[in-house]
């Protein structure tokens, strides 16, 4: 150990302790708070935030049955994971925002990330939309499952086509009777 290096003990801090108290109910599915119309939270970069992301998504779907909560959390986690893995949101000091909108018949989730640097960025006149990998649900593929799963299980999904500040969204109706998820 050099003279300029301190030997500090490791400390474990619960992720919820990093959330301002006025937002803690966003992560507690048993908060007892009145229903929300819109709920938005900005997450920091890195996979260590994923348990907090899942708690947020689960709490957003708290008034639905457990199968719905699981599916909504799974699909929302995929959007967050894609933001971390494929955009500047996953870099040091990066962030992304999840916004959940409660509607009469469905929940909508929007993920805004920091986009990617490209030599020729997309524009509203020249958008570059995301597409689901047609082989993404094949058990033998190593990548491309996230959007393929969202494509298969959400009623609608899409993005704004802008590579610099991507916004990806999906809709999930409360009634899952026609959803492939209900067959599992």
The answer to whether residue 111 is domain-embedded is yes
What was the pLDDT predicted at 158? 96
The answer to whether residue 21 is domain-embedded is no
What was the pLDDT predicted at 167? 96
For the ranges 78-82, 142-146, 149-153, the lowest mean pLDDT is seen at 142-146
Confidence of residue 102 (pLDDT cuts 50, 70, 90): very high
Q: Is the pTM of this model over 0.85?
A: yes
Instruction: For residue 176, give its domain range.
Output: 36-183
The answer to whether residue 66 is domain-embedded is yes
The answer to whether residue 150 is domain-embedded is yes
Domain count of the chain? Answer: 1
Angle at 138 between CA 117 and CA 168, to 5 degrees: 35
Confidence of residue 7 (pLDDT cuts 50, 70, 90): confident
The answer to whether residue 83 is domain-embedded is yes
Quick: pLDDT tens for 25-46.
Answer: 888 877 777 778 999 999 998 8
Cβ within 8 Å of residue 85, ≥6 positions away: none
What was the pLDDT predicted at 121? 84
Q: Are 114 and 95 in contact (CB under 8 A)?
A: yes
The answer to whether residue 30 is domain-embedded is no
> Once rounded to an integer, what is the mean pLDDT over residues 99-124?
92
Confidence of residue 60 (pLDDT cuts 50, 70, 90): very high
Q: Compute how many other C-beta atoms are within 10 angstroms of the C-beta atom of residue 94.
A: 17
The answer to whether residue 5 is domain-embedded is no
Bigger pLDDT: 142 vs 109: 109
Cβ within 8 Å of residue 169, ≥6 positions away: 108, 109, 110, 111, 157, 158, 159
CATH number of the domain encompassing residue 55: 3.30.565.10
The answer to whether residue 28 is domain-embedded is no
């Amino acid at each position: 150990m050099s003279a300029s290096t301190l030997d500090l003990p490791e400390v474990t801090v619960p992720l919820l302790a990093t959330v301002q108290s006025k937002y803690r109910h966003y992560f507690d599915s048993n908060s007892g708070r009145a229903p929300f119309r819109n709920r938005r939270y900005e997450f920091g970069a890195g996979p260590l935030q994923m348990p907090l992301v899942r708690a947020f998504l689960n709490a957003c779907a708290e008034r639905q049955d457990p199968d719905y909560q699981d599916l909504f959390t799974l699909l929302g986690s995929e959007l967050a994971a894609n933001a971390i893995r494929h955009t500047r949101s996953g870099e040091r000091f990066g962030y992304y925002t999840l916004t959940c909108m409660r509607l009469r018949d469905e929940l909508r989730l929007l993920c805004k990330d920091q986009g990617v640097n490209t030599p020729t960025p997309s524009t509203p006149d020249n958008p570059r939309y995301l597409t689901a990998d047609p082989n993404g649900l094949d058990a033998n593929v190593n990548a491309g499952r996230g959007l393929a799963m969202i494509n298969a299980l959400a009623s609608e999904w899409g993005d704004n086509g802008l590579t610099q500040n991507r916004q990806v969204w999906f809709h999930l109706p409360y009634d899952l009777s026609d959803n492939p998820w209900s067959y599992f």
